[in-house]
Amino acid sequence: MEGEARPEYGKCVDICTKAALKEMLIPGLMTVAAPIMVGFILGPLALGGFLIGAIACGFILAVTFANAGGSWDNAKKWIERGAFGGKGSDAHKAAVVGDTVGDPMKDTSGPSLNIMIKLMSIIALVLAPVLAGFPGLI
């Protein structure tokens, strides 16, 4: 290993993509299965309560993720302009770590919660005619 060969970027992207898809399988299935299970086991009223809770919690969490990620990004930029010792200081090193966490929160985690809320609501709407006369198992 002399470090002179060109890296295989495509192979790295393939490995990361496969791992990401594999890790998202269970959360994706839970998003689809949760409204179905709540609707059939507990009934349509419980499904309505489930959706209200999912919308309320998901919205608040999505807004929090977006604001926190943006704040950490802006904090790093502010420190880079000279606050708290500027670039190279301990505060800047901490801000870089915060920005590394904050950018994915702002750009991916927050918006994906909105998609999760919409998917759960659509599944509940599709199930509504089936559950209309179904009291639930419990």
2-59 pLDDT, tens digit per residue, is 778 888 899 999 999 999 999 999 999 999 999 999 999 999 999 999 999 999 999 9
115-130 pLDDT tens trace: 999 999 999 999 999 9
Per the listing, tokens 């990004």 go with 73
Two structure tokens written together for 61? 């969490």
Of the two residues 35 and 83, the one the predictor is more confident about is: 35
Q: How far apart are CA 90 and CA 87, in angstroms?
A: 9
pLDDT recorded at residue 93:
94
Max Cα–Cα distance, the chain, nearest Å: 71
pLDDT at 114: 94
Identity of residue 77: K
Reported as a pLDDT band with limits 50, 70 and 90, residue 134 is: confident
Question: Can you give the pLDDT at residue 135?
Answer: 83
C-alpha 1/C-alpha 11 separation (Å) is 18
| CA 119, chain centre distance (Å) | 13
Give the angle 15-20-23 at the CA atoms, nearest 5°. 125
CA distance readout (Å), 63 to 47, 69, 107: 24, 10, 12
